[in-house]
Homo-oligomer: A and B are copies of this chain.
């Protein structure tokens, strides 16, 4: 039952008594090919169960129809729904996507980039690892003339298309909300400030505190890797302060979960003693008790914009179109961890 030899355009050509190039043109809907030939070719192609050899076409055209996507990790609602959207849109345009996870490791990210370049992807859509500070590998992508689109974790210095949310403003919204709930002393469990988005969130947090006349203290801002353990560790640390906070803004829901757990272990009432707001709207955030207030980043929209940015780059390859920084407004979802009655 297994067909040893695959059918090629040559086989189709033989059946119809025309040349392979005519078949190729017919399949590609070339204007100079007669309607009759086109329908004939399509018919025969179907009969012989013809599957085009993507590799041959890719080689000839110098285009692989593959797009690389680099994310820090797939195990997150935010990233998984972004790649889902990207895959969806790019598949429609005939692209396949190669997803790689950096696991927040710079080293792994570099290896991924090399692998993608070797695979001759037509473009790379990426969100940088937390660890990444050196941009040499990203420069490498650019220097090869391969379209590069960054989302969420990007770098201004790279001068490429970027899609993300307004982190600065998100912090402002969070702080305003906490202030409205009566918080007077707000801590921030932050990501590392060398990453642009976390830096902006910290800036937004500081400026908002200033605006509301609240104390800005170094003890109240702790940077970390934002893993669950970090949330636990830092929350414990905050509780040891002589003057503990009554509100905590946390740059990630996993981290917020860790913090929440510590508070529960210590029998501290959330939100009344300490109110919490997280970030990212993970799938569990609405489901734990108390449910976690958080920032929804509109991941699908980000995915959509990233995919379109890539397609646009490809379509206008050497037209030198100006680059796009697309900044979305994020949305605060108020849940029980910060809603004082």
Tell me the A residues contacting B by CB distance below 8 Å: 1-2, 51-56, 58-59, 64, 66, 73-77, 79-81, 83-84, 87, 91, 96-101, 103, 111, 115-120, 143-145, 228, 254, 257-258, 261, 264, 283-284, 287-289
Contacts and interface: CB of A to CB of B under 8 A. Distances in A.
B284 A264 contact: no
Contact of A75 (B80, B96, B97, B100): B80
Nearest to A111: B91
Contacts of A283: 75, 228, 254
Q: How many copies make up the complex?
A: 2
A54 B120 contact: yes
Contacts of A118: 51-52, 54
Most B CB contacts (10 A, CB to CB) among A54, A56, A64, A75 go to A75
Contacts of A287: 228, 257-258, 261, 288
Contact of A59 (B55, B77, B91): B55
Given A55-B64, A59-B55, A101-B80, A119 B96 contact: yes
A284 B257 contact: yes
A115 B96 contact: yes
A77 B96 CA distance: 24
A10 B87 CA distance: 37
Nearest to A232: B287
21 contacts: A2-B144, A2-B145, A51-B117, A54-B118, A55-B59, A56-B59, A66-B98, A73-B80, A75-B75, A75-B77, A75-B80, A80-B101, A87-B100, A91-B115, A96-B98, A96-B115, A254-B283, A257-B284, A257-B287, A257-B288, A287-B288
